Structure 1
Amino acid sequence: MIGATHSRRMALLEAPVAPRTRTGSRAGFWAVAFAFAVAMAFSTVPAPLYPLYGFSTFTVTLVFAAYAVGVVASLVLAGHVSDRLGRRRVLVPALGLELVAAVLFLAGDSVPLLLVARFVTGLGVGMITATATAYLHELHAAERPGAPGTRFEVVSTAANIGGLGLGTLVAGVLAQFVTAPLRTPYAVFVVLIVAAVAAVTLAPETVRPSGAYRYRPQRVTTGRGPAYLAAATGAFAAFSVFGFFTSVAPGFVAGTLHQPSRALAGLIVFAVFGGSAVAQTLTTALSARSRTTLGLSAQAAGTTALVSGMHLASLPVFLIGGLLAAAGAGVLFKASIGTVAALAAPQDRGAALAGLFLIAYVALAVSALAIGLAALVAPVVTVMTWFAVALLVMLTAVATLTRRPS
């Protein structure tokens, strides 16, 4: 999800770039951006629909965790192969996995089927985020040689994080105003994914495969020292917030806050991810330390307001807290990426960043499952209070470690 991968571009972008016309690169850039946004949007389609399935909080978090497991597996096993096989050769099959998942969602609504569908979605997303991010960078460079990467940064963030929010908005609106709310959103995305595949097939390839390719899983490493530990803890805390909003939050809004509108649920998650994307874009010029301080402050304040809104059963307070927490989480995660990239040696950067994303997506699964399990024995508001305490402890640890010398 979340994104997963402005980081990996710093390792992936070293692939050889094939010479192409600027016109072809421009069209290819926007074709890949469209496909990237569609894939990320599809990954969050179920979020506003979970209350309609009638599942318990634990079941919802279990289904959500299947997605995170799929992403982790894909990042380790296939997230790097486009460096050698070619971006388009990996992106098209990855989009094919998303199409398979959409068909599975259309086939039924049993828990086993949804678990498989979400796992397959995760497999596709793990391949797409790394590949599409690198692809966009290379197409941008081919079209605008020597130009700053501002357009690439803005577009890739919008497609990645913005796409996550867009999926919930589209699904929520469709579920609210059309028939067959558990089928129509997936049917729409079948069409969009097919269009994305067609668009990518027309994009120029940017990697020339060289020689025989001997497959190996992505090497994953973790760094040492206070700076790396701060970055890893910050990534864990940031993705824990994202996990809450794409699993438990829509059900809480529908149940405890008595707001059953699917459109509203989709709008809330859209606003959360949109705020995160905007915050990441606006803080690009800041140093990693400044982003860390800003992200910590915003996430801590937002988490406190979020839980206060849950205790008060106040939708406005809940939403303001969520927006602030997600914006802080986005900035904090971006700072973590910058820290790890700066600490790692060039030859180890890809492995180090893969380790950071592994930690982030483990947080996505663990936080969702922990909330679901705790909700079996305690009210959701109580569970979220303890969840907020745990987040604040992690944020305090990040602040403390950041002040220590590396």
Structure 2
Amino acid sequence: MQVLTHCEDMTVTAPPRAPLTRLGSARHGTGFRVIAAVFAISMAFSTVPTPLYPLYQQQDGFSPFTVTVVFAVYAVGVVTSLLLAGHVSDWVGRKRVLLPALALEAVAAVLFLLWPALPGLLIARFVTGLGVGMITATATAYLLELHVAHRPHAGRGRFELVSAAANLGGLGTGTLVAGALAQFVDAPLRTPYLVFLVLLALSAVAVAATPETVVAPAVAPRYRPQRIRIAAADRRGYAVAAAGAFAGFAVFGLFTSLAPSFVAGSLHHPGRLLAGVVVFLVFGAAAAAQAGSSLLSPARRFTAGLAAEAAGLVVLGAGMHLSSLALFLVGGAVAGGGAGLLFKSAVGAVAAMAEPAVRGEALAGLFLVAYLGLIGPALGLGIATHFLPATTAMLWFSGVLLVLLGATALSSPTPGPARREAAPEGPGRA
């Protein structure tokens, strides 16, 4: 599997780190918590529209396929941003990327508020994607560096848990908050965006006060677009980790695009809060599985993720075939838990493989592959619903994803794609 794009090679000198003092270390500990919260808020904002799609459909009368187009536009924004800007924080600094990214998300919130029609929805989702693409890899690298600065002799367990929980937990929380606000307050297509606009503004202030972890080099490297970077000699391990992230995000793509409409239509449960709960359950299970997997070795975590996602897809398919909401929810939770384990394994493996000077780029490459997992399957599923019943299309989706999981398992190097993960940086552990 060749995952390296052809771009001009460039050597980046590892950015110097400022010497740590006791005060600096304490500030980095506070910064770690601040960036985790900002990461979660920004990811939560990206899923606010998910439980609201049925309301947009009622308002503008568009089809489920249009929902997948709206979702794909968001994912295209993410991929575009990852290609153009996801890696530049390695030399310009983490804050100088995070602050413009938060500004983009605030612009998107204003667009949602002022232009609730389909054209405005499309533009706002694309702008949201641009912001998220800048945030994901940058915030992940930032968290690792703040963690190391705060606890230089600890392992990476705390970083892996917090970064994955902020990412996936934030995605799930956004749907739950938006669904609850849409169910119980007035102006369901306005109130959630007002709430998050305030949170994004506070996040920008918090980031501005957080210590930087990258010192810009004396001579700025020549800009080039992002590569999907193989960050170490372990090319096979990187490729398998990326395939696991792709498979995990394909499940997330299903639940953040068509699942709310499917539950409201084919399963006849149209509640707004329920639409948010369905998606929250998947991401919540992912975050919980990650939190509970700390004692597993990287190889066993990866294998458990493959098995859980496969089992969940089988139960999910049974729920769709039998029109059973209970089975659909159980299958989604189990598949989400497996996807969370795969994603945690992938992030931990790539973060451990990458040298500090290219860590943001390596993670940006991983997120690029992962978000391709959001675009392709979800868009293909939307196209399929034009020609097939929704249940049949989603059953085919589950079958194709099961094949991908099997191929990933067979390709996994021994003892697993993340065998370098969580190597202690000193005698202690997190």
Q: Report the equivalent of 2:246.
A: 236
Among candidates 346, 369, 374, match of residue 364 of structure 1: 374
Alpha-carbon shift at residue 288 of structure 1 (Å): 3.4
Instruction: Give the Cα separation in 1 of the matches to 2:297 and 2:193.
Output: 41
Instruction: Give the Cα separation in 2 of the matches to 1:272 and 1:303.
Output: 12
Instruction: Give the Cα separation in 1 of the matches to 2:106 and 2:285.
Output: 28
Alpha-carbon shift at residue 399 of structure 1 (Å): 2.3
1:159 is aligned to 2:166: yes
Aligned residue runs from structure 1 range 254-293, under 5 A: 254-293=264-303
User: How many residue pairs end up in the alignment?
Assistant: 394
On the 8 A contact 2:86/2:360 being kept in 1, the answer is no
Instruction: Give the Cα separation in 1 of the matches to 2:352 and 2:166.
Output: 25
Alpha-carbon displacement from aligned partner over 1:57-98 (angstroms, at most 9, x marks no partner)? 111110101111111111121112112112212111110000
SS in 1 for 2:147: helix
Among candidates 185, 193, 197, match of residue 186 of structure 1: 193
Q: Report the equivalent of 1:35.
A: 38
Instruction: Give the Cα separation in 2 of the matches to 1:210 and 1:331.
Output: 36
On the 8 A contact 2:86/2:361 being kept in 1, the answer is no
Aligned residue runs from structure 1 range 19-34, under 5 A: 19=20, 21-34=24-37
Q: TM-score, structure 2 length as denominator?
A: 0.84
Alpha-carbon shift at residue 344 of structure 1 (Å): 7.6
Among candidates 108, 121, 140, match of residue 114 of structure 1: 121
1:16 is aligned to 2:23: no
Q: Report the equivalent of 2:47.
A: 44
The amino acid across from 1:334 in the alignment is K
Q: Report the equivalent of 2:320.
A: 310
SS in 1 for 2:412: helix
Alpha-carbon displacement from aligned partner over 1:215-234 (angstroms, at most 9, x marks no partner)? 22223246997655544433
Alpha-carbon shift at residue 35 of structure 1 (Å): 1.3
On the 8 A contact 2:102/2:204 being kept in 1, the answer is yes
Among candidates 143, 149, 157, match of residue 150 of structure 2: 143
Identity over aligned residues, as a percent?
Answer: 59
Q: Report the equivalent of 2:93.
A: 86
On the 8 A contact 1:237/1:391 being kept in 2, the answer is yes
Of 176-185 and 152-161, deviating more is 152-161
Gapped runs of 5+ residues in structure 1? Answer: 1-11
Alpha-carbon displacement from aligned partner over 1:144-163 (angstroms, at most 9, x marks no partner)? 33233333333222211111
Instruction: Give the Cα separation in 2 of the matches to 1:226 and 1:193.
Output: 39
Instruction: Give the Cα separation in 1 of the matches to 2:335 and 2:189.
Output: 30
Alpha-carbon shift at residue 22 of structure 1 (Å): 3.3
The amino acid across from 1:387 in the alignment is F
Instruction: Give the Cα separation in 1 of the matches to 2:79 and 2:293.
Output: 27
Instruction: Give the Cα separation in 2 of the matches to 1:159 and 1:225.
Output: 28
Q: Report the equivalent of 1:298.
A: 308
CA separation of 1:401/1:318 partners in 2, compared to 1, >3 Å: closer, same or farther? same
The amino acid across from 1:114 in the alignment is L
Alpha-carbon shift at residue 185 of structure 1 (Å): 0.5
Gapped runs of 5+ residues in structure 2? Answer: 1-11, 418-430
Q: TM-score, structure 1 length as denominator?
A: 0.89
SS in 2 for 1:70: helix
